[in-house]
Amino acid sequence: MPADSGPDAPDTTRPDDDLRADGENAGQEKAGEENAGRENAGEENLVEAFWAVARRLRHGTRVALEPWSISPSQSRALGVLIRHGEMRLSSLADHLRIAPRSATEVVDGLQELDLVERRPDPADRRAVLVVPTPHGRSTADAIHRARAAEGERLFATLTPADRADLSRVLRKLHD
């Protein structure tokens, strides 16, 4: 199962993506199926155009991240840990929205890959802090770069004016 980590990592579960229906996934079904038999219709078309671009970007990113062989949940966890520097296991579970029991095993896996280590929490000796290792950081960084490069490949096809427009509009939508 190809892996990913760090912020904005794509879903790497299924070939051209994950568990969902058309559109928002990364081209789950065969290419060219989107909007088959459906006419453009104002707002709806804007939504579908957006997801079509999302699929392209996700697919490219997924391919680009295949060399890193950590599981999706491990890479999500690593991404959270990279951003926070260190984190208690219970907090990690909260951030990942999984049960603490599950987080124990995700961290076990990351530890086996030498991507994180468990350290005692000086503030509470019952607790452990999960900390990315240097290897974990460099792995996450490499993955992040690969994804950024992939995005650049797509957006580089735009003129500077178009990029500025897109950036402006995306910021409005995001805020």
Partner DNA sequence: CCCTCATGTTGAGGTAACCTCAGCTTTCGG
Partner DNA sequence: CCGAAAGCTGAGGTTACCTCAACATGAGGG
Site for its own copies in 43-62 (CB under 8 A): 43-54, 56-58, 61
76 binds its own copies (CB under 8 A): yes
Q: How far apart are CA 58 and CA 9, in angstroms?
A: 9
Burial class (CB in 10 A: 0-12, 13-18, 19+), 34: middle
Region near its own copies per CB under 8 A, out of 103-111, 115-123, 131-139, 155-163:
155-163
If one asks whether residue 100 binds DNA (CB under 7 A), the answer comes out as yes
60 contact, one of its own copies, DNA, none, CB 5-8 Å limit per kind? none
Q: How far is CA 168 from CA 46, 68, 165, in A?
A: 16, 33, 5
SS3 64: helix
Q: Is residue 132 near its own copies by the rule CB under 8 A?
A: no
Q: Which stretch binds its own copies (CB under 8 A): 103-111, 121-129, 130-138, 154-162?
A: 154-162
Assess contact for 58 and 17: CB atoms under 8 A: yes
Residues 6+ apart with CB under 8 A from 76: 4, 5, 9, 96
Binding mask 13-52 for DNA (x = CB under 7 A): -x----x---------------------------------
Is position 86 an interface residue for its own copies (rule: CB under 8 A)? no
Segment lying near DNA (by CB under 7 A), choices 51-59, 65-73, 131-139, 142-150: 65-73
Least spacing, CB of residue 167 vs DNA, in Å:
32
Nearest by Cα to 107 from 75, 85, 139: 75
Please give the span between the terminal C-alpha atoms of the chain, in angstroms, as a whole number. 34
The CB-of-125 to its own copies minimum distance in angstroms stands at 26
Our CB check for DNA shows the closer of 131 and 148 to be 131
Instruction: Note the Cα 113 to chain centre separation in Å.
Output: 19
